[in-house]
Amino acid sequence: MNSNSIILTLADLCQYLKEHDNYLVLTHASPDGDTLGSAYALKLGLKKLGKKVQVICPDEIPHKYDYFIDDSECDFIPETVVAVDVADIKLLGDMWQRFEGRIDLNIDHHISNTNYAKRLYLDETASATAESVYEILDELGVEFDRNIANALYTGISTDTGCFKYANVTVRTHEIAAKLYAIGVDAADINRIMFDTKSKSRVKMEMMVLNGAEFHFDDRCMTLAVTLDIQKQTGCSKSDMEGVASMSRSVEGVLVGVAIKETEKNVFKISLRTYDPLDASEICKKLGGGGHKAAAGCTVEGSLKDAKDAILSAIKESLEEIDAGANITK
Ligand SMILES: [Mn+2]
């Protein structure tokens, strides 16, 4: 694996994008608003510069994103492969081996980025990759339109929990303001992304909350979505996206854990933490990664194995914090 990406500045990146063509833009598997919004905004923007662009998503794209998906196809042989919001090549899911060593450019904001691409533009101060894509298109002189604004707004709003998380900066709001000036459909997007739940999701949440567990003086809450629950409620992958933040919204909880069974005896764990707990540090212990407040990892075995593994990693971090608190007393 190439672990020494050439690090690009914004100017280098824009130069590169101008000089190349026939783009294949890749999103991560289990796509979220940021990877999709970034990929399609990039596609729409580069097309305006006369470039040929195709987006590939390793998984089916949930219909709720239909309003900015540009399905237009044109015939070309891809020359330049760009991964957006993809911190690690393995996050390409079933496609990662096909693209190993073949990613020309990676545009990302994850501090855990594994430098797998030939070139990397990484801005870990950006709340969302879409924030960077806004700056890139702006720098390239692309004329923004409502579709691009909607795609970018989706990326930024979903990665910030609708501008609620600690990753929001002055710049996040400045870019959002620019998107408003372009005519972004913010209220409609917010309703679709944050205020609408499918019935199967509500049923799933009821069952998941029934099995909720509290640990470590109620500072940790775990929620598990087993295959059985998924089968009984018919909930989709995107229905399960919000489970991790459900637990963190409980009073006194510093770390919310969502354990999703993705196939028999394989559990994808999502962590949401508040300061001073670092979700990325905890998940790294189990081979995963992510951001300080939101990270993930995968554990194989039984549900109990998965729970034991993540709880012991969390316990270590909580003990370190408690020890630190004692020293400062
Ligand atoms: Mn992102």
Per-residue pLDDT tens for 51-75?
A: 999 999 999 999 999 999 999 888 8
pLDDT of residue 226: 97
pLDDT of residue 1: 45
11 and 44 together in one domain? yes
SS3 assignment, position 2: coil
Instruction: Find the 127 Cα to ligand 1 centroid distance in Å.
Output: 7
Instruction: Find the 117 Cα to ligand 1 centroid distance in Å.
Output: 17
Beta bridge partners of 7: 120
pLDDT of residue 327: 62
Instruction: Find the 30 Cα to ligand 1 centroid distance in Å.
Output: 12
Last residue of a domain, one of 194, 216, 240: 194
231 and 151 together in one domain? no
Number of neighbouring beta carbons within 10 Å of residue 281: 17
Looking only at the bridges linking them, the beta strands covering 213-215 and 23-26 are unpaired
Instruction: Find the 162 Cα to ligand 1 centroid distance in Å.
Output: 13
pLDDT of residue 329: 43
Domains: count for the chain: 2
67 and 182 together in one domain? yes
134 and 177 together in one domain? yes
User: CA quadruple 35, 37, 43, 48: dihedral positive or negative?
Assistant: negative
The list of the chain residues with pLDDT below 50 reads: 1-2, 329
Any domain includes 1? no
52 and 132 together in one domain? yes
pLDDT of residue 252: 94
37 and 183 together in one domain? yes
176 and 305 together in one domain? no
154 and 237 together in one domain? no
Cβ atoms of 54 and 24 within 8 Å: the answer is yes
Any domain includes 100? yes
Instruction: Find the 206 Cα to ligand 1 centroid distance in Å.
Output: 28
11 and 117 together in one domain? yes
Instruction: Find the 129 Cα to ligand 1 centroid distance in Å.
Output: 5
Owning domain of residue 183? 6-194
177 and 299 together in one domain? no
Number of neighbouring beta carbons within 10 Å of residue 178: 15
Any domain includes 81? yes
Instruction: Find the 38 Cα to ligand 1 centroid distance in Å.
Output: 9
